[in-house]
Amino acid sequence: MPQLLVRDIEPAVVKKLRSSAAVQGVSVEEAHRRLLRAALVGNRPGPKRNFVEYLRSIPQGEEVEFPRASDLPRPVTL
């Protein structure tokens, strides 16, 4: 598999990347791959994405809202 080596990155950029990786629960390399993939080919998951990564990507916390369908409740005929 091809590799990239990026030199002379500003310390602030490295700090942000490390912070982002920690929040995502992945390595700095994986966070870098995700950024490049999202910027260049869209935000599609990579072929190695597994179920644990999928679960970690689900938003957490009280501020997360899941909208209800506007067509509920539907009339029921018995």
pLDDT, residue 18, reads 93
Query: Looking at residue 67, what is its pLDDT?
Result: 76
Phi, psi at 41, each rounded to 5°:
-130, 5
Give the span between the Cα atoms of 15 and 74, in whole angstroms: 51
pLDDT value, residue 59 = 74
Quote the pTM value. Answer: 0.51
pLDDT < 70 stretches in the chain: 43-49
pLDDT of residue 17: 92
Q: Output the pLDDT for position 45.
A: 57
